[in-house]
Structure 1
Amino acid sequence: MFDDRSPIYQQIADKIKEDILSGALGEDEQVMSTNQYASFYRINPATAAKGFHQLIEEGVLYKRRGIGMFVSPQARDKLLAERRDRFFEQVVDAVVSEARMLGIPLSDVVRRIEGGR
């Protein structure tokens, strides 16, 4: 599951976000505890806890004392909005910039995106 591209705690956070975005985890649904996560993936519990803490700080998860961690209400909507913003900043804005530099009319870019040649 884990690779060398980013810290394991970040990969844990990203995996949980993907599960929320895909619908595998829903609002107010309980997620594995940090100890369960650490045991399942054979990692240090402190590493798992760091990933979970990041998600709590971002408002994606919340903790119910003595019960566990849960997906925050509206977490999916929040993550979708962040992904959309990132998509436009990293993908669309780069395409628009490149098209302008090459003298390609944006109408041609839009037609291509819509499936026309």
Structure 2
Amino acid sequence: MPPTFTSGIPIYVQIADNIRDQILRGALRDGDQLTSTTEYATTYRINPATAGKAFAILVDEGLVEKRRGIGMFVAEGAHASLVEEGRRTYVDETLYPAVEAGLALGLDLDTIATNVRAYDAGSRTKEDS
């Protein structure tokens, strides 16, 4: 989904996030060429320097590489890197706090695990206890 640039988040951050999301979802694959900063700026009616700043962030993160005279490309291993980081972030920022919240509400680990397995099996029946 293309960025809309309506939030209070800086445009270059939204562009970088959008490209990361495209890489993670597979819409952009390792080795794919990205739209040029000029084309990006023209399409979204933004300053080319803003698009360039987004690409510079992605280069610094190792997700995109600049090939002189050719353009910007998704770096080899970019998808795997984003998946690994996403999993780590999910566990640290979502899973552990959710388990801790469940425990604080009096659920035991077996009940939490049973509900996770039921969700995985497609069942939305929740077990209390």
Rg (Cα) greater in structure = 2
1:60 paired to 2:95? no
Runs of 4+ in 1 over 4 A off after TM superposition: none
Q: How far did 1:3 drift?
A: 2.2
Q: How far did 1:67 drift?
A: 0.5
State the superposition RMSD in angstroms: 1.1
How far apart are the structure 2 equivalents of 1:59 and 1:3? 27
CA deviations over 1:46-92 (Å, ceiling 9, x no partner): 11111000000000000000100000001000001111111111110
Aligned length: 117
| Higher RCO (CA-CA < 8 Å; seq separation 6+) | 1
After TM superposition, the score normalised by the length of structure 1 is 0.94
Aligned residue number for residue 83 of structure 2: 80
Aligned residue number for residue 14 of structure 1: 17
SS in structure 2 opposite 1:26? coil
Q: Which segment drifts farther, 31-40 or 94-103?
A: 94-103
How far apart are the structure 1 equivalents of 2:22 and 2:99? 31
SS in structure 2 opposite 1:63? strand
Residue type of the alignment partner of 1:110: A
Q: How far did 1:93 drift?
A: 1.0
1:2 paired to 2:5? yes
Q: Gapped runs of 5+ residues in structure 1? A: none
Residue type of the alignment partner of 2:9: S
How far apart are the structure 2 equivalents of 1:86 and 1:7? 22
Q: Within 5 Å, which residues of 2 pair with 1:26-45?
A: 26-45=29-48
After TM superposition, the score normalised by the length of structure 2 is 0.86
Q: Gapped runs of 5+ residues in structure 2? A: 119-124
